[in-house]
Each structure stands twice: as structure tokens, then as C-alpha cells.
Chain A
Amino acid sequence: MEFTEPKAYTRSLIPFLDRSHSIAKPGFSRWLVPPAALCVHLCIGQAYAFSVFNLPMTKLIGISQPAPEDWKLTQLGWIFSLAIFFLGVSSAVFGRWVEEGGPRKAMFAAALCWAGGFFISAIGVKVHNLWLIYLGYGVLGGIALGIGYISPVSTLIKWFPDRPGMATGMAIMGFGGGAFIASPLSVWLMSKFSTPTHIGVMETFVVLGVVYLFFMLVGSLLVRVPPAGWAPAGYVAPAQSKKLISKNDVFVYDALKTPQFWLIWWVLCLNVTAGIGVLGQASAMSQEMFPGHITPVAAAGFVGLMSLFNMGGRFAWATTSDYIGRRNTYFVFMVLGFILYCTVPHAGSTGNVALFVICFLVIISMYGGGFSTVPAYLKDMFGVRYVGAIHGLLLTAWSAAGIFGPVIVNYLREYNITHGVPKAQAYNNTMYIMAGLLVIGFICNLLVKAVDARFHMKDSNEAESATAAAAVAAKA
């Protein structure tokens, strides 16, 4: 295996951050790279726990009750939406820079943006200016999410050519697990900094910014890229190439011209749409489908259990994909998901809480698995060289699913209830629609074939040539 160094983007103001300075020395253990990736993903995974600040931030002036000058929940909801929007935009825009600049530089940039976002937001809370929080957490934090999310992907795949699914699964599991740490930590910090006349959101933002900066910088110091020609001891690349595992690289923007990219885009989008819709509504759904059986406290426990399966599924399914193949893993998601979504209305009508819980725990594990398996799927299709950048472009599917999923669940529920459907049955149609989406996902996955040879990079310098030509054209 050989990983040639791109000439473009390799020099920076701080040479220590360059890819060439992060090449592993002999004796370096590849098992140090997953913790480096986790340092970043556990921190940016905080985004899933941002909602713990929503209620306290509606009472910053009124303290015990929201005052008229206090921010409204609807205004605060835009902070998270902006962050997720800029995650998609930045991962698509900066993907190539991340790939060519190397993981250390990308992690360093993500650390500065993420911590900077918290510090600007802290100033926003201090001077009570919501626009500063939109700019800090929403824009700057969102950019950190995008860069940080894709930064270790290709590095992990290069270190673990024998188990790429497991390796990326570990990192992306960290993104799911970040909220587990951030949520109780934020609540604890706010309780420590709050007084009868003050809510400690600003101080909590500052402390989180410092802690995350430290963790992410450790990750960027720890990460290494493998030297050219490196392979794990005893690893022999398969002599006979598999049909759906390419040995050729595809240039990042050429990947957009292939049907494979868009088919996988839809596979991810539909899988995430099906999961994200129920993830956000799990608490209300479980209480309305089982009135009297599932209390608000039990529903909160159910949501917590779903988060654990979301995280565990990221690791378990991505690891499984190393053995059964990426396309087969998505076939399992689509077929098993279809069966489970069709089973949920039956569980509701028969009052079978255990069946309902099991269905949703497996569904949510496959939602997480969809995220973590896709980098290895892209590597199989488009090669290792630009997999991080192509993954960045594919994450726009996540942004789209973030709109489709909740809209389908919420609007269908409202439609059913206004048309006289009892609350306990209001989600049935939604479940069948989600199952239908998975049928479309199954067909898209079925259509994925090997990438046509005309899209393969001819030589390792093709990208640099393209970059140089673009630079000359720009100057002209």
C-alpha cells in the first residue's frame, strides 16, 4: 500500500501541523489513533446534548420564570439547527482541505473553532445578545462539527485496511457518546455556577470551551498518519479483488459524477430519515402509544436506552460490515428495518410494550450503524485517497434527513389527530411510510455497482495537476 503525499496544501504557518510532520515513526502503535479520533468525536458529540441549555437560557433575566426580555425556545432552537446546517456545509466545502492538509491540522482547526464557538457564545450570554450565540455555537461550532467529524476518517481507514468498518465505527461511536458526557456534565456545571440571582450558563460555556480545547488538542497531538507503504504486520491485501471493493482512487469531485455517490447518498438519507424521525419523538410517541403504561419518567429512560443503542450500533454494525460486506449491511438495515417498522403498529394495538421497546432499540442501532458504516462503503467504492472529502460531501444527506424525518413524523401525527384518529394509533401511518422509505433505500442499495473505470484517477499527481491548472486559470 502506498500513500503519496499531495504537494498542494502541505505547507502551513505552523509546520508542526502539516501532514509531513505527523507521519508515524517506527514502533508507533496504530491503536493510538482511535483514541486520538475519539478525543475529537467525544467533544463535538456534545452537539446532541445542547438542548440541556435551552430551558436555562429562557430564564437568564427572569431567573425563576422567563421574563419578557428573555429569549424564547423557538429562537433558541435555531442555534442547534444552524450548527447542523454548518456541519453539512463545512464538511462538504472543507473536505478536500481536510484530506490534503492531514488530520492534525484539521483536528487543530476544529479544536479552535469548537472552543471559540463556546467562548463567543459565553460573551453572547453575558451581554444577552442571541446573534453572538448564533455566530459562536451555530456558525463557528457548526464549522468545527463538519471539520472535526470527517478529520480522522481516512487516517483510520489507512491504519486499519484489514478492519476499516471497525476503525471508523469506533470514532463515529464517539460522536454518539459525546452527549452522554456533555449532558450530565453541563447540568452539574450549571448547578455549581448558579446562584439565586444568576444562572450559570456563561461560566459553563467557558469551562466546556476550555475542557474541549484541551481534549481536542491532545487528539491532534496524538494522531499520526502511516508512512508510505505501511501495512499491518501479517496483513496481505486480497490478491483477487472483490467486485465491490475498488483498489483505485476516485478524485473527490469526480465522485459526484458517479451514480454510486448519489445512490449511497439516498441510502444514507433514507436510513437516517427513518431513524431521526422517531429519535426526536420517541418520548412522546411511547407515552401516546401506551397511555398509562409508559410514564414520562419511564419515557425519559426509554430515550436514554435508545441513545445507548444508537452509540453501540455505530460500533457493532460497522464492525459487522467488515465481515458481511458494506452493501449487505445496508440490506440488513433496510429489510430488518422494514419488518420492525411494520411490527410497531401491531405492538401498539396489542399493548406489547416489550416488543415496542425491542423494535425501536434495534431500529435506532441501525440508524447509528448507517452513519458509521458509510465511510467504509465509500472507501470500497472510491478508494482511500479522497474518502474523507467524499464522506464530507455525503454528509449533506444527513442535513436533508434532518429536515425530512421530523417533518414526516410531526406533520403526519398532526394530520391523523385532526382527522379523528386516536392518539394511540396516530403513528401507525408514519411507521408504514418509514417502512416504505426503506424499500426505496433497498432498491438504491441494490443498484450500487462498482465504479466505472473512467472515473479512476490515472496517477497520483492528477489532483495536484488539477489544482495547479485551477490556480493558473484563477490568476489568468
Chain B
Amino acid sequence: MSNATQDSSTTLKLILAWGFVGIPLVWGVLQTLTNAMKLFQ
């Protein structure tokens, strides 16, 4: 496997792995932030 192919494969793995945990986490944080805004209402 060439270096370029390996690099793009690693980048794809990183995007998928971080997306796998990041998307649910960001969703949860946004939900909590929306509720937290009630403190300022």
C-alpha cells in the first residue's frame, strides 16, 4: 500500500471514529445546553 493510500485510509478511520463518538456527544451537549438556557430566562 502506498503512503498516500495509507494516509487517506487513516484519515477516513479517524473521521469515522471521532464521528462515532462525537456526534452523540455533541447532540447530548446541545440538549443539555438548551435546558441550561432556562437559567437565564
A: which residues have CB within 8 A of B? 27-29, 31-32, 35-36, 38-39, 42, 174, 177, 179-185, 215, 218, 222, 294, 297-302, 304-305, 307-308, 311, 357
Contact = CB atoms under 8 A, between A and B. Distances in A.
Contacts of B32: 180, 183, 304, 307-308
Given A177-B29, A304-B33, A35 B39 contact: no
Contacts of B21: 35, 38-39, 42, 174
A301 B33 CA distance: 8
Interface residues of B, number: 24
Given A29-B10, A215-B20, 18 more contacts: A27-B6, A27-B10, A31-B14, A35-B22, A38-B21, A39-B20, A180-B29, A180-B31, A181-B24, A181-B27, A182-B28, A183-B31, A218-B20, A298-B39, A298-B41, A299-B39, A300-B38, A304-B33
10 contacts: A29-B10, A35-B17, A35-B20, A38-B25, A180-B28, A181-B25, A181-B28, A301-B35, A304-B33, A304-B36
Given A180-B31, A304-B32, A29 B13 contact: yes
B25 A301 contact: no
A47 B6 CA distance: 39
B41 to A, nearest CB: 7
B25 A180 contact: yes
B25 A174 contact: yes
Contacts of B33: 304, 308
B39 to A, nearest CB: 3
Contacts of A215: 20
Given A38-B21, A308-B32, A301 B37 contact: yes
A184 B24 CA distance: 11
Contacts of A308: 29, 32-33, 36
A304 B38 CA distance: 10
Given A29-B14, A38-B21, A305 B39 contact: yes
Contact of A301 (B10, B13, B14, B39): B39
A180 B6 CA distance: 35
B2 to A, nearest CB: 12
Given A39-B21, A177-B28, A181-B27, A32 B36 contact: no
B27 A304 contact: no
Nearest to A178: B28
Contacts of A28: 10
B35 A32 contact: no
B20 to A, nearest CB: 6
B37 A42 contact: no
A156 to B, nearest CB: 14
B24 to A, nearest CB: 5
Nearest to B39: A301
A160 to B, nearest CB: 15
